[in-house]
Amino acid sequence: MRPYHNIPIIECSEPLVEIPLELFAVESPHPYEKLGAPYGEHSPYFVRQSVVDCLIAAQNYLQILYPDWQIQIFDAYRPVSVQQFMVDYSFAEAVRERGLRESELSLNQRQEVWKAVYSIWAVPSLDEKTPPPHSTGAAVDVTLVDNMAQIVNMGSPIDEMSQRSLPDYYANSRESDAEQYHANRQLLCDVMLKAGFQRNPREWWHFCLGDQMWAWLNNESNPKNPPLTARYGRIF
């Protein structure tokens, strides 16, 4: 259970629609499809209609400041089956990177690896009350592309399982280029929040609108306002 799982979901039945990729930068082929993730009838570049509208608004805000820059869509809709696939893949990769073998893991080693995996990945829950954010069509993983069509350096790649994924990791860092990395992350956050999104407190790239996490973050930021509920639940 994450704190946002206590937020009730009142599904509004807004349709899942394709992101107009011609308006954005996009990673192609999709990074998880390349690994064999089982998407089924929808591509990973689907979200709810309101999320598309707000993505377009965020890019418009960005281009007021940087006319030739774009938001790059890394990932969006993710069925629970894909969430499970990526959790399993990430566990295997984390074991390999540690120079270990899964069949030989001690209990403590296994727990440490799972802790690292779930610091980034939501549990692939089939419970309708606790859907993974991406499985609702309300979450997007995004970054920025500059006027030379180059991905803006955020100081760490999307999906990295380390402290560097924390949005404010570079805020007080003495590392070389830390100030620029933080400014780049803040620019992305600023345009996304201005369009109505909320940012995952643990991932600089993950933004949501209308799901449990979004409602929870809004409620935490505005405790005097009437509490919000989620309007998007899991889509199969």
Binding-site residues for Zn(2+) sit at 134, 141, 206
The values of phi and psi at residue 230, to 5°, are -80, 145
Instruction: List the alpha helices (DSSP H) in 66-205.
Output: 80-97, 107-118, 178-194
Q: Which two tokens stand for residue 60?
A: 């418009």
Nearest to 145 by CA among 27, 235, 230: 27
Nearest to 83 by CA among 28, 37, 15: 37
C-alpha to C-alpha distance for 93 and 104, rounded to whole angstroms: 15
Catalytic site residue from 18, 179, 203, 220: 203
Q: What's the chain's length in residues?
A: 236
Q: Is 203 a catalytic residue?
A: yes
| Residues carrying an active site annotation | 203
